[in-house]
Amino acid sequence: MASQIKYYVGVDGGGTSCRARICDLNGQLLGEAKTGSANILLGGEVAMASILDAIATAADLAGLTPDDFSSMSVGLALAGAEQKDAWYSFMSLSHPYASMTLNTDAYGACLGAWRGEDGAILIAGTGSCGILIKDNQQLVVGGREFPISDHGGGAVMGLRLIQQVLLSVDKIVPHTPLAHHVMAHFEHDVDAIVSWSKTARPCDYGQFSPAIFAHAAEGDSLAIELLKQTADDVEMLLVALIKRGAEQVCLMGSIGERIQAWLAPPLQNRLAQPQGDAMDGAIAMAKGCHNLYPL
């Protein structure tokens, strides 16, 4: 099988988007593309469709055709892969590639951040997950998906926002400019919020996080309180990783990169800059077997 491989493909997929990167055997970037959600807990078939689309688009940009798919080794760093049933269900799906290896998006990000060496990261994006790779072991904190976990992520922050907005409509808490912004998004219709909530995905809640940061910068009391709660959640997960043996932690993701200033100084001092990203980790996964569970 190894002799058939001509291309390494890394895929980083979460609740909001799926990115695919194709490299040759020398590590030269050939093509990269981005598509929709690839969280396997939201549906393995949906995730696979996003992956197929992203790789096909990247391949087209690289001047490759579907005939080249059978020469690709694919490393998948996907949200939801920690759930065993979802992992096995996804890996049973058909695909056109020479091989696939599947682990979590956090695992891929950790490999990339520390260039394959031991280290720890905390991803805070739409969701959240902490991981420490040490002595050939993978130690995970959190990351059990929204709404029961994912503390410090954009989806939980968005859910808390919606809850507070509804309380403000009932005049239980102040109706701030941020609350007005959210109500305007729903055309000032509470019933529309209720209907939306019945099918809203993590990324739907997470879409409000930029507005929260923007309003906090303008002194909005609701936005500030939400960011303080998110910072508390992130600190909780950082402390958990440190207690498990992490000396430093790379704080990554759309929320993680913006929440650092809200953290207590002692924890800010334990943060490290990542040496690479999740795509680098996914490419590294494509070069070997990094399956979370045995096939």
Shared domain check, 196 and 104:
no
139 inside domain:
no
Sheet of 119-124, strands arranged across: 137-141, 128-134, 119-124, 249-252, 271-272
144 inside domain:
no
Shared domain check, 197 and 96:
no
User: Does residue 8 come out as left (phi exceeding 0), alpha (psi in the -120 to 50 range) or beta?
Assistant: beta
CA-CA-CA-CA torsion for 114, 213, 14, 80, nearest 10 degrees?
A: 90
**1: confidence class by pLDDT, cuts 50, 70, 90:** very low
- What percentage of the chain reaches a pLDDT higher than 90? 88
Shared domain check, 248 and 280:
no
pLDDT for 145 beyond 90:
no
Shared domain check, 233 and 165:
yes
Shared domain check, 228 and 189:
yes
Q: What is the pLDDT of residues 14-49, one digit of tens each?
A: 877 899 999 999 999 999 999 988 999 989 999 999
**Closest to 281 measured CA to CA, from 102, 113, 127:** 113
Say whether pTM exceeds 0.85: no
The residue with greater pLDDT, 256 or 105, is 256
Which CATH number fits the domain that encloses residue 102?
3.30.420.40
Number of domains within the chain: 2
